């Protein structure tokens, strides 16, 4: 099983290699970016994701919902934003690492049959 600790021991793949892999398997680069950024930062806001990915709120919403439905992204209330007018701005997103690991195992099984 790949864990954040074992990932640190592996050489860092180039951004080009990651982009090629994402396209080859047919993954959404936006969804991969959402998961990667959220995983790396622990918790992120929609604004942080939109800024780092260079995408609009509507695009972010389109890509976040399947990740939430799959259990990979979890929404939590941001206590520092209590009383903010827009509900979307009061949410912190985090990656459910167990759900992500299970998805990765399922993808590996689908690709290899093992």
- Residue from 47, 35, 32 nearest 95 by CA: 35
Please name the residues in contact with 65: beta carbons below 8 A apart, sequence gap of 6 or more. Answer: none
Domains annotated for the chain, with CATH where assigned, are 16-112 (1.10.10.10)
Cα 13 to Cα 67: distance, rounded to the nearest angstrom: 24
The radius of gyration of the chain's CA atoms, rounded to the nearest angstrom, is: 15
Cα 92 to Cα 47: distance, rounded to the nearest angstrom: 10
Statement: residue 87 has pLDDT above 60: no
pLDDT given at position 85: 56
- pLDDT band at residue 6 under the 50/70/90 scheme: very low
pLDDT given at position 112: 82
pLDDT tens digits for range 22-81: 677 778 889 999 999 999 999 999 889 999 999 999 999 999 999 999 899 999 887 666
């Amino acid at each position: 099983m790949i864990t954040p600790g074992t990932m640190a021991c592996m050489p860092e793949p180039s951004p080009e290699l990651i982009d090629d892999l994402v396209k080859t398997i047919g993954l959404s680069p936006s969804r991969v970016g959402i998961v990667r950024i959220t995983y790396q930062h622990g918790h992120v806001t929609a604004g942080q994701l939109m800024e780092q990915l260079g995408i609009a709120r509507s695009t972010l919403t389109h890509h976040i919902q399947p990740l939430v439905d799959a259990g990979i992204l979890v929404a939590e209330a941001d206590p520092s934003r209590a009383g903010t007018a827009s509900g979307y701005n009061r949410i912190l997103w985090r990656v459910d690492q167990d759900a992500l690991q299970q998805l990765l195992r399922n993808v590996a099984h689908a690709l290899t049959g093992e």
